[in-house]
Amino acid sequence: MTSSSTVTKFMSMHVTLVIFVFIGLIHSSMSRPIATCVLGVGLSGLAFHIPFILALKELFTLHSVLERNPTQEGGSVKQRFGMSVRIHRSLEAVIADPEIELVIIGTPNDTHYDFAKASLLAGKHGVPRLRMLISCWRSFSFSSC
């Protein structure tokens, strides 16, 4: 029997793929891939988000990641995928980078709301994981962005 945690992770992964494809289809009329930054290089970043971005090269480019304390030169992305990307060490650095168009939020759940709101207010597109929608009230507050 499958645990609810496994089902949640499975559903979250598939919803993430649908979001990526949807954003890509909207953006496909443009001539270049969407410059994307993944916030967090833990399980969701390395197992779900980054592989989707790398697999959909015509739609997305992995511009950078937020990794606060890389343990080696090139960080977790270089260690896992053998490629180098820009490493930002703070959300402020991500927000200040004018090349980033899309922010994928794969950080701990309690950061999703603040990170998504900061990204939107900076004029970037933001995709939090499903669990960000903890309460409808917090979700509705995005209408002011």
Would you call 32 exposed, middle or buried from its count of C-beta atoms within 10 A (0-12, 13-18, 19+)? exposed
Judge whether residue 14 has pLDDT over 80.
no
pLDDT, tens digit, 9 for 90 and up, residues 107-117:
887 888 888 88
Task: Answer yes or no: is 20 within a domain.
Answer: no
Q: pTM for the whole thing?
A: 0.74
pLDDT of 6 reads 46
**pLDDT confidence bin for 56, thresholds 50/70/90:** confident
**Domain-embedded: residue 41:** yes
Cβ atoms of 106 and 38 within 8 Å: the answer is: yes
pLDDT of residue 24: 58
**What is the pLDDT averaged over residues 84-92?**
96
Query: Which DSSP category does 56 fall into?
Result: T
Report yes or no on 24 lying in a domain.
no
- CATH number for the domain that contains residue 59: 3.40.50.720
Asked if residue 16 lies in contact with residue 55, where contact means CB atoms within 8 angstroms, the answer is no
Residue 23: inside a domain:
no
Which structural domain range is residue 140 located in? 33-144
**Residue 88 pLDDT > 90, yes or no?**
yes
Q: How many distinct structural domains can be found in the chain?
A: 1
